[in-house]
Structure 1
Amino acid sequence: MSLWGWILAGCAVAFATKLTGYLLPSRWLESDGFRKTSSALTIALLSALVATNAFASGQTLAVDSRALALAAAAVALWRRLPFLAVVIIGATVAALGRLAGLP
């Protein structure tokens, strides 16, 4: 299949998934089990995205200044600092790590 075929197939799957959400009975969507599952999936997907962006470098895994920035941001979140402060701390630590020679 060509690249455009895969793109169209992905679009069709995304549309079908969204349509399925509209066609489900509302009592299913309002159940406690569904809410717990959907919130757990959201956290899992966000965690996977963060881990991929922090430790992946092309086809390999790398521990570099991004890992330091993630650790600093995690500490800032643990200390319950405002979100803007967390972002600034993470960016500062990443910049300092790169200044120190980490990739």
Structure 2
Amino acid sequence: MIWWAVLGAGLGCYLLKLAGLSVPPAVLAHPVVSRVADLVPVALLAALVTVQVLAAPEGGALALDARVAALAFAVGLLWLRAPFLVVVFGSAAFAALLRLL
């Protein structure tokens, strides 16, 4: 049963990619479409980060633990315009330090 779901998801991804490739260039040249296409990956990444930070490990309610504090620390580093690797490793170290305490 699970293989049908995997094959169906693979076919759906292929068809979605094919639909994106079949959009006429005139539509893609429109400024609004271009701006939305630039912002959609950022919104999806922000949604994934939010779900991973706030989701409880056993499911159910929201979890407020070291991950939330590490995310706030990462936002602070980004606000200070720190390099990406400094943000990633700094927030990971901050979360590890909080969990150690």
* Same fold, TM-score > 0.5, yes or no: yes
1:37-79 Cα offsets, whole Å, 9 max, x none, are 2223222101101101111123132111111110101000000
Q: What count of residue pairs does the alignment treat as equivalent?
A: 99
Q: CA deviation at 1:88?
A: 2.1
RMSD: 1.2
Match of 1:10 in 2: 9
Q: Percent identity?
A: 36
Q: CA deviation at 1:97?
A: 0.8
Asked whether 1:32 is paired with 2:31, we answer yes
Give the Cα–Cα distance (whole angstroms) in 2 for the partners of residues 86 and 22 of structure 1: 35
Relative contact order, CA 8 A, sep 6+: which one is greater?
A: 1
**1:50-69 paired onto structure 2 within 5 Å:** 50-58=49-57, 59-60=59-60, 61-69=62-70
Unaligned runs of at least 5 residues, structure 2: none
Give the Cα–Cα distance (whole angstroms) in 2 for the partners of residues 15 and 33 of structure 1: 25
Match of 2:97 in 1: 96
One-letter amino acid of the counterpart of residue 71, structure 2: L
Q: CA deviation at 1:10?
A: 0.8
Q: CA deviation at 1:31?
A: 1.4
Give the Cα–Cα distance (whole angstroms) in 1 for the partners of residues 78 and 94 of structure 2: 14
